[in-house]
Amino acid sequence: MTELGIMQGRLLPRIDGRIQAFPWTDWLLEFPIAADLGFDLIEFIFEGPRIEDHPFWSAAGIAQVREVTRATGVAVRSVCADFFMEHPLFRGTAAERRSSLDVLLRLITAAGEVGARCVEIPCVDQSSLKSDEDEQALLGALGAALEVAKPAGVAILLETDLPPERFRRLLEGAGDPMVGANFDSGNSASLGYDPDEEIKAIGQFIQNVHIKDRILGGTTVPLGTGAVNFDRVFRALADAGYGGALVIQGARGTDDVEAARDYLSLIRALTEKYLDRT
């Protein structure tokens, strides 16, 4: 059965009005709420500027993550490393790039210690890949990171705004099954990409999926009210043989817990229809 998860913070009050942020003081409180709703997973967010306060950055914090996942049955299988939107692995001075790589190596190790299967690196918006040089620099950093990722059993997943065929060529250039793709339904729809074409192009590389809805060229909206055709997305994922997790990253509501309950019901029905057919 497909594991269903939610992006961290979506069940707690917003941080400084942001739609997505690490809940620095309350992150432990989200696990029992997620369990009560029926989620299998919470995808952790890793971002700055207070990385030294993140639970992944200390043995005590890692122990807390392990204990809360054991107590609630809600696992941490993936990490959304928004840190690298501000600190790309392929841009800046050599010292800045080395510093970012050092953070990634430590993050991969910590992710493995809590049982996560993958760390996602967003290459979108301010961290978009703009040139062949950017892509080659990224591949170089990933090559170094794989030396830690492989023994840790943690895949490195890219999310980009590249056209599907170019994204596929980038993933092929990594030349390793431990480098894969995170597919985000909303971001792809916002860019105007056809889900059948995109998932056909990169389907063999997709190891994690974010479920989101966005307006074409615009912002995140409640699931089912934007440009995403969820039936086409799920059908294409099924055709590609996708068997990984689905992580809900929906728009915030006036009552985020009730919004998450509605989203979970919708995605569970689609999962049963397309992905969990026997």
CA gap 24, 58 in Å, rounded: 14
Q: Are strands 220-221 and 213-214 parallel, antiparallel or unpaired?
A: antiparallel
- Identity at 276, one-letter amino acid code: D
- Identity at 9, one-letter amino acid code: G
SS3 assignment, position 240: coil
Mean pLDDT score, 213-225: 97
Q: What is the tens place of the pLDDT at every residue in 148-183?
A: 999 999 999 999 999 999 999 999 999 999 999 999
**212, 186 Cβ separation under 8 angstroms:** yes
Q: What is the CA radius of gyration of the chain?
A: 18
CA gap 214, 217 in Å, rounded: 8
Alpha-carbon separation of residue 239 from 64, 70, 195 (angstroms): 39, 34, 12
pLDDT band of residue 229 (cuts 50, 70, 90) is very high
H helices, E strands: number in the chain: 10, 10
Average pLDDT of every residue of the chain: 97
The CA angle 176-177-180, to the nearest 5 degrees, is 105
Alpha-carbon separation of residue 147 from 101, 116, 222 (angstroms): 12, 17, 40
**pTM exceeds cut of 0.95:** yes
Given this model, what pLDDT does residue 135 score?
A: 97
Residue 277 pLDDT greater than 80, yes or no: no
136, two tokens: 């080659």
**47, 53 Cβ separation under 8 angstroms:** no
Residues in the chain: 278
Q: What is the tens place of the pLDDT at every residue in 92-138?
A: 999 999 999 999 999 999 999 999 999 999 999 999 999 999 999 99
Mean pLDDT score, 70-75: 98
Residue 268 pLDDT greater than 60, yes or no: yes
Given this model, what pLDDT does residue 136 score?
A: 97
Given this model, what pLDDT does residue 16 score?
A: 87
SS3 assignment, position 52: helix
Domain boundaries, the chain: 4-275
DSSP assignment, residue 114?
A: T
What percentage of the chain exceeds 90 in pLDDT? 96
Which homologous superfamily does the CATH classification assign to the domain defined by 4-275? Divalent-metal-dependent TIM barrel enzymes (3.20.20.150)
pLDDT band of residue 278 (cuts 50, 70, 90) is very low
